[in-house]
Amino acid sequence: MLRAKIQQDLISSLKEKKAAELETLRFFMAEVKNLEIEKKAELSDEEVIKILKKQIKNLSDAVEMFAKGGRKDLVDQNNQQIKILSQYLPAELSDEELEAAIKTLIEDNKETYEKNPKMIIGIAMKQLSPQADPKRIIAELNNK
């Protein structure tokens, strides 16, 4: 469904002559198509979200490099692409919701947590990474 929405937005940006959005979405859809060809199946929404996060991370890294190099034009361009792609990500959990989710996770896996507290990190990442940045999850777990 997410893939279809992005495809529709790509078509509408083509019709409305939104060059920056069109370029960004075309590049993203090319990445999706390449992975679908490799996988020989259509990607699920979770896989599309993974690709989105990867693209946004790559763009963020590029922004840092361009900023160090004094290339404000490329910094602005990449920030615009990040903004375009970010609108397709699901809303992240608030700090309170993340804290509550981790607390529930620890209670549900109390035996595992008492034996080896580090094992809860893997469980938390698997369940919460689509809804929260992994850095936030680790930081919250370290506070426990």
Q: What is the pLDDT of residue 64?
A: 93
**Nearest Cα to Cα of residue 132 among 90, 85, 81, 86:** 90
- The pLDDT value given to residue 11: 93
Please give the chain's pLDDT, 144 residues, in tens: 888 999 999 999 999 999 999 999 999 999 999 999 999 999 888 889 889 989 999 999 999 999 999 999 999 999 999 999 989 988 777 888 888 888 888 888 778 777 777 788 888 888 887 777 778 888 887 776
**How far apart, in whole angstroms, are the C-alpha atoms of residue 104 and residue 56?**
30
